[in-house]
Amino acid sequence: MTTTTGAAGDFDDQDHTLLTKEGLKKLKEELDFLKKTRRLELAERLKEAISYGDLSENSEYEEAKNEQAFVEGRIIELEMKVKNAKIISDKKVSGGIEANVGSTVTVRNKTDNEEPQNFTIVGTTEADPMNEKLSNESPIGRALLGSKKGDILTVDTPSGIQKYEVIKVA
């Protein structure tokens, strides 16, 4: 058994958006929707609002312009994430599978004697703790990186120091 406080991982998140294949597909779908549907809807709203006359006191126009700015900003953000996407996969090492971004890890919280939980380590874009998807930058996600079955991890979480036993890495 090994005791560790977590590993930095093999990915440089500065240059890449770490995603699963499913996560990349969702980003592309959202980008497509924004470009092909939302832009057209907003153009129609703006056209209608302009037809009301005096733009200086036209709340419909202001609201549509603000939403348009938000949508355009989101499109730029998604285009960058898709452009810099790095698909993640499991990494096998001698002695078993090493947890990495994309791995599903079964752990038991030894501090609180809880039932085992499954967590999938994902990039920050896909993080959803309520659905057991932990960011590789979260305290537990970071600690799980590089771990193997049997490892005991000491993690400094917002609720205090916790000890986790790695039961399975898939």
Residue 10 has pLDDT above 50, yes or no: no
* Residue 24: pLDDT over 60: yes
36-70 b/e (C-beta count within 10 Å ≥ 16 → b): eebeeebeebbeebeeeeeeeebeebeebbeebee
pLDDT of residue 31: 95
Q: CB atoms < 10 A from the CB of 133, how many?
A: 18
Q: pLDDT value at position 4?
A: 41
Looking at per-residue pLDDT, the higher value among 16 and 116 belongs to 116
User: Which pLDDT value is given to residue 75?
Assistant: 95
Domains and CATH numbers, the chain: 3-14+88-169 (3.10.50.30), 21-85 (1.10.287.180)
What is the per-residue pLDDT for 57?
79
Nearest alpha carbon to residue 160 among 134, 140, 132? 140
